Chains A and B, each alone.
Chain A
Amino acid sequence: MTAPLLEIRGVSKRFTKRLDVAGKIAQRLGSKIREETVHAVDAVDLSIAPGEVLGLVGESGCGKSTLGRVVAGIHGASDGQVLYDGKDIAALTGAEKRAATLAIQMIFQDPFASLNPRMRVEDIIGEAPRVHGLVSASDASNYVDEVMSKVGLDPSLKRRYPHQFSGGQRQRIGIARALAVKPKFLVCDEAIAALDVSIQAQVINLFMDLREELGLTYLFISHDLSVVEHIADRVAIMYLGRIVESAPTEALFAAPKHPYTKALLAEAPRLDQRKRDFAPIEGEIPSPLDPPPGCHFNPRCPLARADCREARQMLETISPGRAVACHHWTET
């Protein structure tokens, strides 16, 4: 196996709502107000090989977007390290830091909020390469044309503003902006969820073409199993801040091991099962403010026993490329 392009080691991200002065006084006076900490991402390990597409799947609120933002350098990790090409990004400085920052780019979910409404497309795409000296000022215009053609946009539209484009075109502008700094790794955070189905297919195909052409590696975050099944080489399932299972796509869809993955796959709507009734997973997803002890899935899990409520089972490799975090996965 080749060395991973990107490795996530024990990364956690906590958001703490600190008490203000009024809160502290109320607390002194005996109120039950306390600092609230959300464990959005809880000790996650992942590694992604060069050229691979890793699908990250989970319900909304499970922390997958936060993990993507930590990888992309938008949030700093509370604990753990993100290694790019074997080096801890947080420890890099100067030119190396910049190279690593530019190498990892993000594609956002909302094609409306992710483009600055007051900038022309040519500036949105061309600003970063110009600032970082990737192209000279005199070549910048040609470079923007080139990048726009690469993502299937007409370069003659580059003097327009984002609001003059449709959702799919805007998503292409977002992709062009990321590609303009010549990244090696793209974090796609629900990058197609906001698009019409017909446009989704086009954008997915664009991602796959770019992968071939530029040798890109992807972390593809989605809640849509069918999309992930289609494009990912490997899939990681996330539940309440933790990875519960990771496996090659085919193996995972053929034989899920973790009870949560099973439930998730069983309930995915499919054309060939249109008539059947759905049996949603029992119970609600617990609040990340106050996650259950032990395995986070235990209150909803059919296999849960006493040990599940006491100790967390770490992700354990059960066969090459396949890992699961469950005490009782063999029982199914």
Chain B
Amino acid sequence: MSDVIAPETAAPAAKVETPFRRFVSEFFESRIATVALCVLGLIILLAVLAPWITPQNPYDLAQVDVLDGRLPPGSEAFAGYTMWLGSDGSGRDLYSAILYGLRISLSVGVASGIIALAIGMAIGLLAAYAGGRTENIIMRVVDLQLSFPAALVALMLVAILGKGIDKIILALVVAQWAYYARTVRGTALVERNKEYVEAAQCLGLSRLRVVFRHILPNCLAPLIVVGTVQTAHAISLEATLSFLGVGLPQTEPSLGVLIANGFEYMLSGRYWISVFPGLALLFTVVSINLVGDQLRDVLNPRLKK
């Protein structure tokens, strides 16, 4: 019986229905969400594999030829490959630029999402558990923060901090932590008053253990939902900032920079420079949002049929 302690070895064969399996099967009940998840998976895969599946590294100025500038979709580049999506004003192959831009957009979105989630979660839990004046002060700061549009907060911060990926991420974290803090605090308040928390108190478990082992795992469902939606939001915010020219520099084009670059050519009929990066952004944000919506439906027991 000595091996029974290890969770893996003790797993019984007759594992009928774990919450995770039920969650997975319920998630895939929606066809739209399934498609969205596939699209999202494909987008992430393309972004990750970009250096191996694109003909050009758009950041390497040696590979970018100005003579290739503003070519329509399907033209042949000077280097000999076909530019299926055309090229932008500086001669970057748009297909390559979009995949590299996705890398930046996704990593900015995910990084700021994770950091904001960690900070917001800690602050929200603190507020819920401490109560009293601490909670009041924290939640009024959150209210104050949420009363400003996130885009405005991020815009001001980036204007002060300057350009660069790290500064963009910082600005997005500052603009978004409050959503997480409010979500966690709300759920933690509900969970804190449940009897299993009282039981844990009765059993003499430490406060830290009660908060992190008992309360936090039960707050995760709404956090995951807010996390996905906020990540999509962060990606579009970053694109907005870059479009406005305060986000990422021209040398590291994210999707927003690409769209901004093509904007001036729209009226001259060179639609592809803005439209294709725009579509990439659209597909990314919409698929993340659809996945987030389905997560919310599945994870929220009150919405269950």
Contact = CB atoms under 8 A, between A and B. Distances in A.
Contacts of A98: 204
B217 A118 contact: yes
Contacts of A77: none
A156 B12 contact: yes
Nearest to A132: B204
B1 interface: yes
Contacts of B4: 141-142
B202 interface: yes
Contact of A138 (B2, B16, B198, B214): B2
Nearest to A174: B199
A105 B203 contact: yes
Contacts of B11: 159
Interface string A87-118: 00000000000100110111011100111111
Interface in A132-167: 132, 137-138, 140-142, 156, 159, 161, 163-164
Contacts, number: 83
B300 interface: no
Contact of B204 (A115, A128, A177): A128
Contact of B194 (A69, A102, A113): A113
Interface residues of A, number: 39
A216 interface: no
Given A115-B196, A131-B209, A163 B19 contact: yes
Interface residues of B, number: 31
A181 interface: yes
A127 B136 CA distance: 33
Interface string B192-206: 001110111111111
A318 interface: no
B34 interface: no
B196 A113 contact: yes
A74 interface: yes
B18 interface: yes
B10 interface: yes
A106 B199 contact: yes
Find the residue from B4, B7, B18, B209 having the highest chain A CB count within 10 A: B4
B144 interface: no
A72 interface: yes
Given A106-B199, A142-B1, A161-B18, A116 B209 contact: no
B90 interface: no
A127 B4 CA distance: 16
Given A118-B217, A159-B12, A177 B195 contact: no
B203 A128 contact: yes
Contact of A131 (B2, B205, B217): B205
Contacts of A104: 202
A106 B202 contact: yes
A128 B5 contact: no
Contact of B5 (A72, A114, A141, A156): A141
B183 interface: no
A51 to B, nearest CB: 21
A181 B194 CA distance: 21
Given A137-B5, A141-B1, A101 B16 contact: no
Contacts of A131: 205-206, 209
Nearest to A106: B202
Nearest to A115: B196
B203 A181 contact: yes
Nearest to B5: A141
A98 B206 CA distance: 11
Find the residue from A110, A116, A156, A163 having the highest chain B CB count within 10 A: A116
A73 interface: yes
A102 B18 CA distance: 32
Interface of B: 1-2, 4-5, 7, 10-12, 15-19, 136, 194-196, 198-206, 209, 213-214, 217-218
5 contacts: A113-B195, A115-B199, A119-B214, A119-B217, A137-B5
Given A128-B203, A131-B206, A141-B5, 7 more contacts: A101-B202, A114-B199, A116-B217, A128-B204, A141-B1, A142-B4, A177-B199
Interface of A: 20, 69, 72-74, 98, 101-102, 104-106, 108-110, 113-119, 127-128, 131-132, 137-138, 140-142, 156, 159, 161, 163-164, 174, 177-178, 181
Closest 9 CB pairs of A and B: A114-B195, A128-B203, A101-B204, A118-B217, A141-B4, A108-B195, A116-B196, A113-B195, A74-B198
